[in-house]
């Protein structure tokens, strides 16, 4: 691969290497024993484990089908329609224009996956996993957007050898090139498209931040990579004492202006168009936020952003960094690790960024001069984990 990609730091294991290696090799030999599968199914104490492993492997194999069922339901707008009222097969066939016999395969698959469920009188209604899809437009938009990623990944080895030639790389203009000052119309369209998607999908991340961090001590917040300003708008309603600055590329802030006006926020929000690759960050804020920004960029750029944030803050100021992060070693075995696989590939297809562990980002923040760096516990780390660090003194 010719692309300049960073390597992830190896996570340190608490157990001595020789002991851990020997234990893992013994387990592997045991799992590979030809009689183990039949023996463990006969034994009531181990049957559940073998069933669970088999099921997990089957789900991995079937994952593509699952996501296509999801996309099919989104494209037919089934979640919103069934949220309004359950419907039977014939009604749904009429509405979607699909033949009942094929539509039924989709509906039964969606029931099997918990997206839909059977209701009385042979009707279909929303299942537990379908409810959020009917309520949050941003999820449906991400599912549609993922189609681009899955097209790029159709042949995984070709993708790994040439990850930046697909639709995803094209979708994210800033992840590869320096942004030119004067953009052709086609490029402006790209900024509009991704900024809209980001605004639609940011809701869950914003909720995590607002419900986990207290903003009382702050006076002015600078949101770097602010997009169309959804975080700033929601924080403005949450903490009416705050003033704001937004920093993003000029075409993105041009899109943000109208929305801020409509929300009556122009007096509280100052726009600072620029690029953190070339420009310093504006001073005057005592809290700088970086929401879903670092993971888009290679280590050298992240270090640059963190140093600029440190330089722009007053002594006592705080940096808050929130984004999906890799599951740390101490959480190994807990649910959620498979989310990492998605982000590793998403960020590879997008450009030169990567999914980092909280520990890696904490170290980068400390290297940029921040002290008291810690993780703020939050309820849904799958949406984002949150780190904060303080500027306690100016760097020499
Ligand atoms: C993944 S989006 C996140 C937007 C928003 N914070 C959110 O969570 O929805 C990353 C943002 O960083 C901005 N960005 C990318 N490169 C930039 C640069 N060189 N200077 C300033 N902003 C940049 C993009 O325009 C985009 O709005």
11 pLDDT above the threshold of 90: no
pLDDT at 330: 78
226 pLDDT above the threshold of 80: yes
Q: Minimal CA–CA distance to 71: which of 149, 145, 152?
A: 145
C-beta of 292 in contact with ligand 1 (< 6 A)? yes
Query: Beta strand pairing status for 318-323 and 287-291?
Result: parallel
Q: Which atom of ligand 1 is nearest to the CA of 295?
A: 1
Kindly give the distance from the C-alpha atom of residue 356 to the centroid of ligand 1, in angstroms, as a whole number: 17
pLDDT at 178: 58
Q: Which CATH architecture has domain 173-390?
A: 3-Layer(aba) Sandwich (3.40)
8 pLDDT above the threshold of 60: yes
Structure tokens at 300: 């050298």
C-beta of 322 in contact with ligand 1 (< 6 A)? no
CB within 8 Å of 141: residues ≥ 6 apart: 197, 200, 201
Mean pLDDT value across the chain: 93
The predicted model gives 107-126 an average pLDDT of 98
CB-CB contact of 229 with 263 (8 Å)? no
pTM: 0.93
The predicted model gives 256-271 an average pLDDT of 96
Q: Report how far residue 205's alpha carbon sits from residue 289's, in angstroms, rounded to the nearest whole number.
A: 13
Q: Minimal CA–CA distance to 281: which of 299, 297, 250, 304?
A: 304
pLDDT at 1: 47
Q: Which of 7-16, 161-170, 302-311, 332-341 has the highest mean pLDDT?
A: 302-311
CATH 3.40.50.150 domain position(s) in the chain: 173-390
C-beta of 225 in contact with ligand 1 (< 6 A)? yes
In degrees and rounded to multiples of 5, residue 385 shows phi and psi of: -105, 155
Which pLDDT band holds residue 13 (cuts at 50, 70, 90)?
low
Tens-place pLDDT, residues 307-336 = 999 999 999 999 999 999 999 887 776 766
Kindly give the distance from the C-alpha atom of residue 198 to the centroid of ligand 1, in angstroms, as a whole number: 9
CATH 1.10.10.10 domain position(s) in the chain: 19-135
Which pLDDT band holds residue 208 (cuts at 50, 70, 90)?
very high
Q: Report how far residue 191's alpha carbon sits from residue 174's, in angstroms, rounded to the nearest whole number.
A: 9
147 pLDDT above the threshold of 80: yes
| DSSP code of residue 184 | P
C-beta of 354 in contact with ligand 1 (< 6 A)? no
Instruction: For the chain, give the percent of residues with pLDDT over 90.
Output: 86
Which pLDDT band holds residue 15 (cuts at 50, 70, 90)?
low
Give Cα 169 to chain centroid, integer Å: 17
Q: Report how far residue 303's alpha carbon sits from residue 309's, in angstroms, rounded to the nearest whole number.
A: 10
| DSSP code of residue 229 | S
**Choice between 98 and 185, residue whose per-residue pLDDT is larger:** 98
Determine which of 150-154, 182-186, 208-212, 350-354 has the lowest per-residue pLDDT on average. Answer: 182-186
pLDDT at 28: 93
158 pLDDT above the threshold of 90: yes
The predicted model gives 100-123 an average pLDDT of 98
Q: Minimal CA–CA distance to 147: which of 221, 94, 72?
A: 72
CATH number (3.40.50.720, 3.30.420.40, 3.40.50.300, 1.10.10.10) of 19-135 reads: 1.10.10.10
Tens-place pLDDT, residues 171-181 = 998 887 655 55
182 pLDDT above the threshold of 70: no
Kindly give the distance from the C-alpha atom of residue 293 to the centroid of ligand 1, in angstroms, as a whole number: 6
Q: Report how far residue 266's alpha carbon sits from residue 143's, in angstroms, rounded to the nearest whole number.
A: 33
CB-CB contact of 116 with 107 (8 Å)? yes
The predicted model gives 342-356 an average pLDDT of 96
Pocket perturbation via mutation, ligand 1, pick of 200, 209, 249 by most ligand atoms within 8 A of CB: 249
The predicted model gives 149-155 an average pLDDT of 97
C-beta of 308 in contact with ligand 1 (< 6 A)? no
Can you tell me which residue has the tokens 């975080």? 231
12 pLDDT above the threshold of 70: no
The predicted model gives 339-351 an average pLDDT of 95
Q: Minimal CA–CA distance to 231: which of 254, 207, 197?
A: 207
Q: Report how far residue 57's alpha carbon sits from residue 49's, in angstroms, rounded to the nearest whole number.
A: 12
The predicted model gives 108-124 an average pLDDT of 98
Beta-bridged to residue 272, according to DSSP, are 247
């Amino acid at each position: 691969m010719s692309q300049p990609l960073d390597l992830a730091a190896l996570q340190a294991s608490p157990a001595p290497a020789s002991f851990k290696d020997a234990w893992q090799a013994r387990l592997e030999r045991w799992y590979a024993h030809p009689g183990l599968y039949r023996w463990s199914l006969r034994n009531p104490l181990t049957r559940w484990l073998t069933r669970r492993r088999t099921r997990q492997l089957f789900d991995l194999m079937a994952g593509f089908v699952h996501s296509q069922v999801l996309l099919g339901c989104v494209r037919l707008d089934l979640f919103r329609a069934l949220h309004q009222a359950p419907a039977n097969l014939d009604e749904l066939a009429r509405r979607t224009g699909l033949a009942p016999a094929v539509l039924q395969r989709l509906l039964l698959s969606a029931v099997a996956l918990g997206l839909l469920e059977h209701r009385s009188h042979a009707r279909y209604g929303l299942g537990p996993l379908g409810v959020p899809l009917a309520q949050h437009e941003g999820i449906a938009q991400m599912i549609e957007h993922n189609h681009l990623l899955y097209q790029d990944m159709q042949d995984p080895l070709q993708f790994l050898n040439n990850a930046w030639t697909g639709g995803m790389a094209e979708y994210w203009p800033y992840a590869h090139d320096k942004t030119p000052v004067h953009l052709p119309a086609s490029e402006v369209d790209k900024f509009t498209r991704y900024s809209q998607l980001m605004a639609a999908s940011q809701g869950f991340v914003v909720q995590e931040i607002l419900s986990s961090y207290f903003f009382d001590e702050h006076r002015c917040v600078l949101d770097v990579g602010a997009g169309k300003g959804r975080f700033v708008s929601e924080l403005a309603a949450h903490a009416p004492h705050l003033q704001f600055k937004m920093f993003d590329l000029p075409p993105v802030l041009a899109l943000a202006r109208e929305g801020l006006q409509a929300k009556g926020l122009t007096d509280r929000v100052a726009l600072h168009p620029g690029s953190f690759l070339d420009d310093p960050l504006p001073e005057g804020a005592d809290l700088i936020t970086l929401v879903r920004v670092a993971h888009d960029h290679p280590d050298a750029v992240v270090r640059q952003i963190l140093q600029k944030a440190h330089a722009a803050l007053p002594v006592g100021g705080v940096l808050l960094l929130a984004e999906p992060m890799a599951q740390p070693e101490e959480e190994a075995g807990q649910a959620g690790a498979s989310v990492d696989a998605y982000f590793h590939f998403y960020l590879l297809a997008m450009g030169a960024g990567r999914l980092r562990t909280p520990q890696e980002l904490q170290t980068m923040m400390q290297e940029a001069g921040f002290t008291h760096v810690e993780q703020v516990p939050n309820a849904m780390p799958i949406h984002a984990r949150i780190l904060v660090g303080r500027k306690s003194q100016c760097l020499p």
